[in-house]
Amino acid sequence: MPEILVFLLIKLILVIVIFALWMTMVPLLIWLERKVIADIQVRLGPNRVGPFGLLQPIADAIKLIMKEDITPALVDKWVYGLAPAMLMVPAFLAIAVIPIGGVVTIGERSFALQIMGLYRGPGLFVPELDAGILLVLALSSLGVYGVVLSGWSSANKYSLLGGMRSSAQMLSYELPLGVALVGPLLLAGTLRLNGVVEAQADYGIWFIVPQLVAFAIFLMSGTAEINRSPFDLPEAEQELIGGYHTEYSSFRFAMFFMAEYVNMVTISAVAATFFLGGYRLFFNDIVWLQPVWFVLKLMAFLYLFIWVRGTLPRVRYDQLMKLGWKVFLPVALGNLLVTGLVIAFSPANTILVMSIVGALLGIATFFGLSYAIVYGLRRRRPESERRVVEPTRAGVSE
């Protein structure tokens, strides 16, 4: 068999396996989110369909597919039908550069457990994509078009407001999210995701320690980027009746739902790769166990996202924008400045110095963000602007 056909066959197998892994995570996440939030609220959650309610997501999917697909009369039909795909397709394409394992060698052929990864065979060498993280950030930014166009094309004012909110929110939080990743990239000295993982193994420490501030900024900015609670302002049902997907039903609504969870998996995968050593658990671990370690770290982040949703209330929109521009972005830039100075003036002890500095900055950032969220963002109205309603004799204002 020609070597190019072997290469294409191996890549096809990797596409099927990794795509199946991501798609399996969606129903699992739906079940896990309902069970975890039910546990937080002292409820049972789904427990009727299948053992422990495990088949409930499949029942929900069948129900959504079989529902009537209603298209309002005044929508822009082409854009209205295309918008869910514009949100879902970039979410799936981003997984192509995320490594779930190291290099596997079978006979005289070696390949990385990554769709756009290394391949080496007799007479054929295909390198890993050099700037893989740039592709992830570029594809994540394309998702805003699906949200904005779905709100604009729905001929619904609430949907339009949700799309406008999303455009401002996602564009604002892309900046601190991208800047937060530059610190680990400086320590790794490469834009390749496999290079970031191997750098953490070479240093003997995960980047969450020297880049604790960047980790906090990335996690919170990523939560806002994918519209998860407490930053789910584009679909706030109390204000917008569901926001940008109010006019969608049946499978088109399911595509928005799936895109949210796939984006959550992608953000968790990037966080595990940059801050928790990726697919490496030990420094010389078994290559066939590396996907297991990666999935375990992935599930830890996904559980954290669900935990946050069941714990924190939604913030106001003005608080959301203040956090992005006045808190997250300056802190991310400050962390980048400190990282650059440490690398420039202490190249021999970069990791040791950054671990100490990162721990101190992380503690300061934690208390600073806590103060900003709890006290700093709450703006009391001046006494002159407050309206005092005098009670009537019956105790009811006139």
Query: Given a cut of 80, is residue 235 above it in pLDDT?
Result: no
Largest CA distance in the chain: 94
Query: Given a cut of 70, is residue 238 above it in pLDDT?
Result: no
At 240 the pLDDT is 67
Query: Given a cut of 50, is residue 130 above it in pLDDT?
Result: yes
Query: Given a cut of 80, is residue 194 above it in pLDDT?
Result: yes
Nearest to 351 by CA among 209, 197, 151, 154: 209
Mean pLDDT of 73-78: 81
At 380 the pLDDT is 54
pLDDT tens-place string over residues 35-48:
888 988 888 888 88
Give the residue with greater pLDDT, 68 vs 200.
Answer: 200
How many angstroms separate the Cα of 7 from the Cα of each of 100, 128, 166, 254, 317?
18, 14, 41, 35, 49
**How many Cβ atoms from other residues are within 10 Å of residue 281's Cβ?**
17
Question: Which residues have a Cβ under 8 Å from the Cβ of 73 and sit 6 or more positions away?
Answer: none
pLDDT tens-place string over residues 359-375:
777 777 767 766 665 55
At 372 the pLDDT is 61
At 339 the pLDDT is 84
Nearest to 171 by CA among 211, 221, 130, 114: 221
At 271 the pLDDT is 92
Query: Given a cut of 60, is residue 389 above it in pLDDT?
Result: no
At 272 the pLDDT is 92
Q: DSSP labels for 109-141?
A: EEEESSTT--EEETTEEEPPPTTHHHHHHHHHH
Given pLDDT bands bounded at 50, 70 and 90, which one contains residue 274?
very high
Query: Given a cut of 60, is residue 382 above it in pLDDT?
Result: no
At 383 the pLDDT is 56
Where do the domains of the chain lie?
A: 70-100+129-376
How many angstroms separate the Cα of 188 from the Cα of each of 43, 277, 297, 339, 348?
45, 12, 20, 12, 14
Mean pLDDT of 71-75: 79
Of 23-37, 226-240, 369-383, the range with the lowest mean pLDDT is 369-383
Query: Given a cut of 70, is residue 249 above it in pLDDT?
Result: yes
How many angstroms separate the Cα of 155 from the Cα of each of 150, 257, 380?
9, 21, 36
Question: Which residues have a Cβ under 8 Å from the Cβ of 24 and sit 6 or more positions away?
Answer: none
This prediction's pTM: 0.84
Question: Which residues have a Cβ under 8 Å from the Cβ of 83 and sit 6 or more positions away?
Answer: 146, 147, 149, 150, 153
Of 187-201, 229-243, 324-338, the range with the lowest mean pLDDT is 229-243
Given pLDDT bands bounded at 50, 70 and 90, which one contains residue 133?
confident
> Which H/E stretch holds residue 49?
none
Of 180-189, 232-241, 250-259, the range with the lowest mean pLDDT is 232-241
Give the residue with greater pLDDT, 388 vs 346.
Answer: 346
How many angstroms separate the Cα of 65 from the Cα of each of 25, 48, 58?
19, 21, 11
Mean pLDDT of 49-69: 83
At 398 the pLDDT is 46
Given pLDDT bands bounded at 50, 70 and 90, which one contains residue 313?
confident
Query: Given a cut of 80, is residue 397 above it in pLDDT?
Result: no
Given pLDDT bands bounded at 50, 70 and 90, which one contains residue 395?
very low
At 371 the pLDDT is 65
Query: Given a cut of 80, is residue 82 above it in pLDDT?
Result: yes
Output the six-digit token pair for 384. 């002159």
Considering the chain, what is the average pLDDT of its residues?
A: 81
